[in-house]
Structure 1
């Protein structure tokens, strides 16, 4: 591309860029211009001047379209005439630029944060410092804080849900380019060898151009396990312990002696290898592999840190006087080297290393590191290792070496407490329908009940509750069961093995998908009992190391969530089980399926209402409620800024603890490097503290009327959404023709099938491909459809009603967050491009009928949103995203036009392998540029 490849000064987005903004953007413009120029040089050298000219002409036209200087039909027509090889060059060029533009944007965010730190700017909202200032203003009593933070937990749970389209190799090249630009930014004048630096950048972009963007084969489950684990070395080993330590210190300074956070608040989790719902590849062996690889990652980290400590703590007892406890550790190491005779810390660490190596050998069958010099007994638990490290800490401080104790040793002590020997908790998850089948087979084989499926709910609950009072198993290992039943029992038995090996934190929770009744919960309990994870007890009540978490997903299930949980907790045997777990009950809320079921506004309000109901149930039952939010990357699946989302929860819904899913491209975006990981994890913790300890909702006596208003709006929105998606004749046909939903299944981005079961209905389709497909077409329907009709019909031209919505938008975080997130989606929507996809629908009458409904609703939604917010353009409250759209979206234009053309050719019978690959490349490029596509 030419020197003028990108100059965002030429771009406009509804007047959002003022002079001050543009001055701040100068380094970003410079980076984008530099990276575009280098990419252009690489394309010219590799593909020839003709290709570079084609790409440059396309770029110029794309920018003119964004400035409304030319009609996009001209570009569409020219691109549709390209031969397949030329189309491939254009697709690859604009896909790579999206990668580089994202990189420049992330670097600019870092640069701005460094600038604000250097200038001593007030701490940003979402940082621990800003939250602590808010807590200081509130003047909270120590007893209140201690009560509210009892059992405090913030747990981001990584899942394997596939929306990350980038290959790991591409991410590695991106990181190298990022490091080069960071090096340039931090170099003092004259320190950087410009020629050498430029040559390295050129080689990196060349590598990017010559590296395939697409995987040759679908990711296997073991690949997904390994992919998730790499984020520990990239950022989590460094950042998670540091945040826990800082939080502990900050709370202790404010409320000394209150005993706050005896255990770390921030703990990571995972579903990869334990989530069986709709994924046939999650087997007993997969669960063993996941937990073993996690343990290997944790133990390898701890062993490497012990070795580094041994090199650093070289203090001689000829110069310092360690404690007697330290000498005892040194003696226990059986280290006889004369070279370390006066170095008790090194001798002690050699012994600790040997014991941890023995632990690794017991758990893994090998040592992920150097073999120890001596053979010593294994540690029984991480607490024993932590106790030995505490001895070293105390001894160092006793002779004035506190600064050494506060360095690597402190980080390792925190890491052992956070990650233990297991690294992170692996949840199990399965659909309630599978539990029903498996438990029915077990009961029939044991002669307890021949036809469990025919029983009514009351009879099922009575039977299951009785089984939970008996310790005897229902089946033997050689029982004649279906493959499904044997597989499910094998998984829970494998979980029991890993819990025995690694401790109860290794498998902490069992999530029940599509939970609708008491029997759905008790069936899972019976399975856990069969594996020995749940013990009915011998008179002193049941115990279980694994928490049972009902997942409410559809709109109807969310509306019944409070009633269902009341019925569950009224069951004496289960209530005793909850009591044995400290009266804590976790409930999971599903954002994806509720949205697919009822639309954006109805789903968000159903979730809020469900939380209110569950908080009231917990209060009446005298239990502590922990909510697990099953959010995706896009707004249509519960995405959006986490800090605002957590603060927008109803009163009592956070209560010091929450868990939240992280998946797809969101994982790389949030945890790909320490700086971003720190910022995102701090935001989770900060928002949890604020939502727990401060009155954020602020509705007061207006709450009931506000809730009634949203009840009304949600009903109207759901009716409008269902009228299109579930009731319009031919809608499924339109959706499958106008989006690349069929072609998505050919993209090798995950092990999980796109549908839970075979079928052609929207209900059978998983939420991820549903949302991903709408993103590709730039309709983004799951993030807004139905809301415009709801707002317009309720207001009905009444200025007082509009004023009521405007007031709630100003004062109620829930409504403000819902509308702000919708604004983000609408800003990314482009119905001009969407019209090109609609042309793929063969039936002209159907094509027009559905698209006209979508267009009319979009216009209503934008109009009503701006009327409520008082803004004159979208993203007035989000200048960062507005800038991002200005920078990146012109490069989407050619990708969309070429995707439509390639889909047309493929569906018209073009079997050329390059046509298929071009479709996949456009899907990849569009998803990369949008950044949160599923």
Structure 2
């Protein structure tokens, strides 16, 4: 279970906890056997002693028994111990994920039923009287975007070993298997746990974007192609008067997937136009391979002969054309499937998909719509012949797959920083000769709009490699659209959008790159900092006035019947900029203003939520976050980033992936339910003054800390911040400038910022400033009332509670002491104490997570082991941050301790899960 999940089902939780405990006991016994057989019996004893010490009261205090045990270990034993603890945490995660999947299969536990738990049937029942559900589904769009943001610390080799262990656990637990089969499964479990224990958890080489593409593609291959049709079936079954698999329930394919993997070049010099082209080629190859396999499978089942299932005249006419278009293949199909016209047509479709994959021009499908037309021809013929079951069965699954994934699998989105465009334009405009100040012109939206609409006055060429790459990226987008269709790669996201010029700049560059040639270019502003979020409506009004923008919107109106704009809001950098509480309230205010702007401009707005997996980057229960969104900001459309460990937590298992998508579906349906929308807006108005107080006070508290002299040095001294890059989690540098080290928080990305604080057990990005904000309100009954009635405030407090629960004050104090800044340490710990006390007061609890037993269990299972890693990491940091060993005065072995530090970082990431 990801620690971002939550539940209220305590009874089921006790049953699930017992099964989970049994699984863990079994896995731990096998792990101990592997360690003993491998000559590490001493390690089993040391691990047991350290974990027992970490369960003692005050274990995190300096000088505790846990500290004494760790201080007595040599480097070799420390490294071996760290590895063993990490394996234990991986096995714990596996057992918990398995329990989630098991609960879903038996329709048990927190992941089924109930509106607030994300039950689709309950959601449809609630909204059925308010609006036409089928019409709402037809307009719905749920759009997860998978990113390569480096928050998944596991190597693929580790993930593969865990998948093998999970498969053997299923085999061992299968009640239909006898003792011999169980013995085989147990042997295989020991073998794979042995391999896992001996596999290095650290990557030896830096991943390239191509490696990241392969990693993300496995999610589609192993999970999503099966989970998506299951989602649509579950929605179909929940509709009134539905008869799944026979009657047309009117469930459209309302899910689309996006990807930044191979397209996101913001601060990543390794993502080039060549990488983007290759990424889409890999995606298309996999999509077509999956579709071909599915077509072949469905075709094998269509053995109905024409006497019992008469083909339509349209189908017969289509087959006559196929007979001359591909004579050799069709002759073989007719011979192998005589008097089976529906099967013959499916085999023809399969041959054309294979030809599309092989880029055989004479038989290729030019776009997915052509393939859909053939599939619907078969479906219509079956329906006319009275065979509703076959028409609405697996064939419908195939139609849903084509509608959802097309030939490109996921829309590849391009992202670049606004400063890169500005520099490129300054370079190019400087060559024109008639512009006195090229840098000023590069930020003038009117001048850039003229370049976009009228063209460049004369030919210019890039003089730098970076500018050439900007233009080549746009050219690759045009080429990909020509090859795989306009929807494969048409969105261009501008990080740190600060003005209308930042948006117009992309069209000016596109005009130079491709001239008048066809190009779908949907410019998406990304507002990230507090100031940019506040200015977003003003920026958009100015942008909408530009001629190039008006022409783009008019073209949308003509083709789609409406003008639509996508706006991305960033949770990560806004929280890093103003603190978690102020960022939550700033985002809410900005979204309300964006909704108002869209209404005034007669534009259909889609908000794209740039959320991370960690609680300090917008993480937490996603369906509850949707229900807390301002009215009008969802309106049937929800787009969100999914990254790192969150991708694997939500999409690595078919059942879990299906359930996650169901929760999103139900939340999007419920978001505009009249009763909920009205209550949400009334609460927002009622508690507006409370929100302003929290916003101002929490922001002031947060900025006072991060603006303190030496604060950037503090986080580098107390955490593995500078060493995180050596984990080689992703191809993107930790800093936008590409520097491996430094003391600039502005240059530091949000992910390593959050990752580092999680390692220190301070977890500061998830709660700092909230205590001061709540204290400034000074009215506990009002705060409790707001928690009960205002979903946004409820979500904010719940996320803070989870974040505080993963903070360990004694260990945090030890980490903070490494910075030799007692003033800043006291400031941080005082705010922690205040936030914890007031959150508990608002919740009316004595302890954190009292009412979230599943989360409490998840954290309790891991904490002694995570605490052990923290003690080991603290010693490694002390050895590396001091010039001599405090025990004997000798210089420490920096290479050995650096390796140990990285091992502890990797292990703690496994235990804390949503680290970045």
What TM-score do you get using the length of structure 1 for normalisation? 0.89
Match of 2:99 among 105, 108, 115: 108
Match of 2:270 in 1: 281
- Distance in 1 of aligned mates of 2:86 and 2:349: 50
Match of 1:723 in 2: 704
Change (3 A) 1:741 1:504: same
Give yes or no for the alignment of 1:707 onto 2:702.
no
Give yes or no for the alignment of 1:894 onto 2:868.
yes
- The 5 A counterparts of 1:326-725 are 326-331=315-320, 332-333=322-323, 334=327, 335-337=330-332, 338-362=335-359, 376-447=362-433, 449-455=435-441, 460-471=444-455, 475=459, 479-532=461-514, 545-581=520-556, 582-697=562-677, 698-701=679-682, 703-725=684-706
Worse-matched range after superposition: 670-679 or 389-398: 389-398
- Distance in 1 of aligned mates of 2:530 and 2:449: 28
Shift in Å at residue 221 of structure 1? 0.6
Worse-matched range after superposition: 344-353 or 383-392: 344-353
Change (3 A) 1:22 1:353: closer
Match of 2:726 among 746, 752, 759: 746
Match of 2:800 among 822, 845, 848: 822
- Distance in 2 of aligned mates of 1:225 and 1:69: 41
Shift in Å at residue 211 of structure 1? 1.7
Match of 1:7 in 2: none
Gaps of 5+ in 2: 1-7, 557-561, 884-890
Match of 1:539 in 2: none
Alpha carbons 2:407, 2:484 under 8 Å: kept: yes
Change (3 A) 1:250 1:198: closer
Report the 3-state secondary structure (helix = DSSP H, G, I; strand = E; otherwise coil) of the residue aligned with 1:586. Answer: strand
Report the 3-state secondary structure (helix = DSSP H, G, I; strand = E; otherwise coil) of the residue aligned with 1:506. Answer: coil
- The 5 A counterparts of 1:772-921 are 772-795=755-778, 801-841=779-819, 843=820, 846=821, 848-907=822-881, 908=883, 910-911=892-893, 913-921=895-903
Worse-matched range after superposition: 873-882 or 268-277: 873-882
- Distance in 1 of aligned mates of 2:369 and 2:112: 40
Shift in Å at residue 834 of structure 1? 1.4
Change (3 A) 1:621 1:252: farther
Change (3 A) 1:419 1:120: closer
Worse-matched range after superposition: 260-269 or 496-505: 260-269
Shift in Å at residue 400 of structure 1? 4.5
Match of 2:71 in 1: 80
Shift in Å at residue 736 of structure 1? 0.7
Shift in Å at residue 693 of structure 1? 3.6
Change (3 A) 1:905 1:549: same
Worse-matched range after superposition: 246-255 or 548-557: 246-255
Shift in Å at residue 499 of structure 1? 0.7
Match of 2:130 among 140, 152, 160: 140
Alpha carbons 2:94, 2:162 under 8 Å: kept: yes
Change (3 A) 1:253 1:436: farther
Give yes or no for the alignment of 1:308 onto 2:297.
yes
Change (3 A) 1:874 1:339: closer
- The 5 A counterparts of 1:227-266 are 227-244=215-232, 246-247=234-235, 264-266=253-255
Match of 2:744 among 739, 761, 767: 761
Alpha carbons 2:766, 2:800 under 8 Å: kept: yes
Deviations 1:275-330 (A, max 9, x none): 11100011110110111111011011111122223332233336543223333344
Worse-matched range after superposition: 247-256 or 849-858: 247-256
Match of 2:20 in 1: 28
Change (3 A) 1:108 1:661: same
Match of 2:30 in 1: 38
Shift in Å at residue 81 of structure 1? 2.4
Deviations 1:705-747 (A, max 9, x none): 4123212211100100111111x22211111100110110111
Change (3 A) 1:435 1:245: farther
Report the 3-state secondary structure (helix = DSSP H, G, I; strand = E; otherwise coil) of the residue aligned with 1:217. Answer: coil
- Distance in 2 of aligned mates of 1:100 and 1:225: 26
Shift in Å at residue 832 of structure 1? 1.1
Alpha carbons 1:274, 1:282 under 8 Å: kept: yes
Match of 1:369 in 2: none
Alpha carbons 2:626, 2:668 under 8 Å: kept: yes
Change (3 A) 1:217 1:911: farther
- Distance in 1 of aligned mates of 2:84 and 2:515: 54
Change (3 A) 1:815 1:237: same
Shift in Å at residue 22 of structure 1? 4.0
Worse-matched range after superposition: 114-123 or 588-597: 114-123
Change (3 A) 1:175 1:20: closer
CA RMSD of aligned residues (A): 2.8
Change (3 A) 1:702 1:220: closer
Gaps of 5+ in 1: 1-15, 367-374, 536-542, 796-800
Report the 3-state secondary structure (helix = DSSP H, G, I; strand = E; otherwise coil) of the residue aligned with 2:306. Answer: coil
- The 5 A counterparts of 1:26-175 are 26-65=18-57, 73-116=64-107, 122-123=113-114, 125-136=117-128, 139-142=129-132, 146=135, 151-175=139-163
Q: Which has the higher contact order (CA 8 A, sep 6+)?
A: 2
- Distance in 2 of aligned mates of 1:285 and 1:492: 12
- Distance in 1 of aligned mates of 2:60 and 2:622: 38
Change (3 A) 1:254 1:48: closer
Report the 3-state secondary structure (helix = DSSP H, G, I; strand = E; otherwise coil) of the residue aligned with 2:153. Answer: coil
Change (3 A) 1:278 1:641: same
Change (3 A) 1:90 1:402: same
Shift in Å at residue 243 of structure 1? 2.2
- Distance in 2 of aligned mates of 1:120 and 1:633: 19
- Distance in 1 of aligned mates of 2:915 and 2:108: 32
Report the 3-state secondary structure (helix = DSSP H, G, I; strand = E; otherwise coil) of the residue aligned with 1:336. Answer: helix
Change (3 A) 1:484 1:83: same
Alpha carbons 1:244, 1:266 under 8 Å: kept: no
Match of 2:312 in 1: 323
What TM-score do you get using the length of structure 2 for normalisation? 0.91
Alpha carbons 2:818, 2:878 under 8 Å: kept: yes
- Distance in 2 of aligned mates of 1:384 and 1:72: 71
